[in-house]
Amino acid sequence: MTQHDQAGAPGEVVYSRGGLDESRHQIHVAVVTPGGQVLAACGDPALVTFPRSTSKPVQALPLAIAAPDLPADELAIACASHAGTPAHLAVVERLLARSGSSVADLHCGAHPPFDAQAAAELVRAAQKPTPLHHNCSGKHAGMLLSCVLHGWPREGYTAPGHPLQVRIRQAHAELAGVELGEVQAGTDGCSVPAFALPLSSMARVFARLADPGGDPALGRLFAAMTAHPDLIAGPGRLDTTLMPQVDGLVTKMGAEGFFGLGLRDSAHGPVGIAFKIVDGSERARPYVALAVLEALGVPITPQLQALAPAAQHNWAGREVGEVQVKLPWTWRA
């Protein structure tokens, strides 16, 4: 089938006010088995796009293979888009020390912590953020350790031709079930290669995380991420709040509205889900995540529903609008 033949009507998250639709976010979703079968889709499951930070578990796979005894919190921070809290930075520093590296060896650049309190503390202390505060510093610390353990040079570890990045590209192809030449490349915000895949292929990656099939490294990644959701994102952020509320769920946010989920016990068995919010909106993400989980048989508790309230209130507490999620599913199995 061609990409066009596979495509159906995309989903939408619609914000309304006063009975009128005010804004719409277009959604593409793919639900896939560990073997690569597309169970359900909204929009185009063959849409090729960049998962961005949703790829971090794959980027940490060489580390999980080379360091089977690495503490779970350090493996988790290598998969994280952390918020720059003191707790996050302490784990990154510990991971850096294992390779004999320092903050100066991180090539991710610097930005203020995502966590508002941590960012304010830097301002109060009249300090500038360093690469340690970058949300990808754990990933980069893990990459440096991967280089040491595999016998690759640390120098140039972010370059597309470096042995580490070549191996990570191969891992994307292997887990996604595509040919290596189909894995398109760009450059991510932290300077490492960003790999683009069809949506259904990235969903398969998360299906493999949820159901490792005897692969010990994938099993360690799943265990680390689900045991330490506080490290994967941070206070009040979706990965950190969602994973503890659903048994057997692993999730990872990516920039520009990408999201990956692996669910061990759906109504259809182990599945992986990937969705892309076309306009890159962050606010639509929890609405789509909950709608997908509900479609897969996960009970939506009041605690979960609080992550995506249907009613919208203004600063005075008045109800002024609502949010609707419209996912026109095409079920294929």
CB 230 within 8 A of CB 76: no
Over residues 98-119, the pLDDT tens digits come to 999 999 999 999 999 999 999 9
**Which CATH number goes with the domain that contains 177?**
3.40.710
Domain residues for the domain of 16 are 3-331
Number of domains in the chain: 1
**215 token code pair:** 């692969």
Please give the share of the chain, as a percent, with pLDDT higher than 90: 96
Name the nearest CA neighbour of 239 among 23, 54, 28: 54
Q: Which two tokens stand for residue 99?
A: 């390779």
Sign (positive/negative) of CA torsion 252, 8, 296, 290? positive
Say whether 118 sits in a helix, a strand or coil: helix
**Which pLDDT band, with edges at 50, 70 and 90, does 4 fall under?**
very low
Q: What pLDDT digit, counting tens, does each position of 271-289 carry? A: 999 999 999 999 999 999 9
Q: Is it the case that residue 3 has pLDDT exceeding 60? A: no
Residue from 59, 83, 117, 112 nearest 241 by CA: 83
b/e burial code for range 323-333 (CB count within 10 A of at least 16 → b): bebebebeeee
Global pTM? 0.95
- Helix H segments across the chain? 3-6, 56-59, 61-66, 72-78, 86-98, 116-124, 137-150, 163-176, 199-210, 216-227, 229-232, 238-242, 285-295, 302-305
